[in-house]
Amino acid sequence: SPPNVFASNEVVRLAKREGVVVLLNGQGADELLGGYSKFLLPYVAQLLRRGHLLRALSAARGRKPLRKKGPAALLTESLRYWLRAGAASASMGDGRSSKKERQQAVVNLCLSEDFVTATEDELPERFSSKMSDMFKRRLHVALFGFHLPHYLRIEDRNSMEHSIESRLPFLDHRIAEFAFSLPSDLFMQGGTNKVLLRECMAGILPDAVRLRTDKFGFPVPFQRWIMERLYGQIRE
């Protein structure tokens, strides 16, 4: 959202003012390692598909900050996700991307619709549902479709505006390729997200940070601004 973009720009501006010339940013970690709550659905759906009912139930009963819904509702929605994913795969047997996915390519990769249509045979690599693992397929879409390309464009423009180099270590192609070579169970377990990263950081990060379950983005008190400091200007 615009307030978040503005806040990110202010962070970079402050870093520049303090003499910082290189920033490390965690962009891509959630998309690559399963950090968002929306990834729980395809993960549970994948467990159901493979017949791992007890593990699917354990994931559905997992920690509430990620789960957000009751176990029965999450299992039902995961089953629907599985059925929809199967129908999409069947209808896209030729590997061509759907209309919605083509639209995402236009919006998120800043491509013209004519270009996307003309090069559609090149898009399935990123936007088709050919990948058999539903969880990794969802990660793939997040990395190349929605939202990461948009976030990276903002990161690039904000850092360039202030002549700062922004490095994104999680998006090193070697890390991404390695992550996609691993089984999905290393990403989520029992409803806990980013298990792979949590385990890798054992003994490096304090457990209070490493094992925390509450998650939020880059919070901006936009509603408070509107109702308090900016209320008079907006009302006028």
pLDDT band at 92, cuts 50/70/90? very low
pLDDT reading at 160 higher than 70: yes
Each residue's pLDDT tens digit, 6-21:
889 999 999 999 999 9
Q: Give pLDDT, residue 119.
A: 63
pLDDT reading at 27 higher than 80: yes
- State the pairing for strand pair 165-167/22-24: parallel
Q: 186 or 105: whose pLDDT is higher? A: 186
Q: Do residues 5 and 152 touch, judged by C-beta distance below 8 A?
A: no
Q: Give pLDDT, residue 20.
A: 95
Question: Which residues does 222 contact at the CB level (< 8 Å), separation at least 6?
Answer: 1, 3
pLDDT reading at 89 higher than 80: no
Q: Where are the beta strands (DSSP E) in the chain?
A: 22-24, 165-167
Q: 102 or 199: whose pLDDT is higher? A: 199
pLDDT band at 127, cuts 50/70/90? very low
In the predicted model, what is the mean pLDDT of residues 148-161? 92
In the predicted model, what is the mean pLDDT of residues 209-228? 84
Each residue's pLDDT tens digit, 210-219:
998 877 777 8
* C-alpha span between 88 and 131 (Å, rounded): 11
pLDDT reading at 126 higher than 60: no
pLDDT reading at 123 higher than 80: no
Residue 233: count other Cβ atoms within 10 Å of its Cβ: 8
Question: Which 3 state secondary structure label does DSSP give 146?
Answer: coil
Q: Give pLDDT, residue 128.
A: 44
Q: Give pLDDT, residue 22.
A: 96
Chain-centre distance of CA 91, in angstroms? Answer: 25
Q: Give pLDDT, residue 116.
A: 67
Q: Give pLDDT, residue 46.
A: 86
pLDDT band at 79, cuts 50/70/90? confident
Measured in degrees and rounded to the nearest 5, phi and psi for residue 129 equal -105, 30
Peptide bond into 147 cis (omega under 30): yes
Q: Give pLDDT, residue 99.
A: 61
Q: Do residues 145 and 104 touch, judged by C-beta distance below 8 A?
A: yes
pLDDT reading at 103 higher than 90: no
In the predicted model, what is the mean pLDDT of residues 132-153? 86
Give CA separation, 216 vs 134, 186, 188, in Å.
25, 22, 18
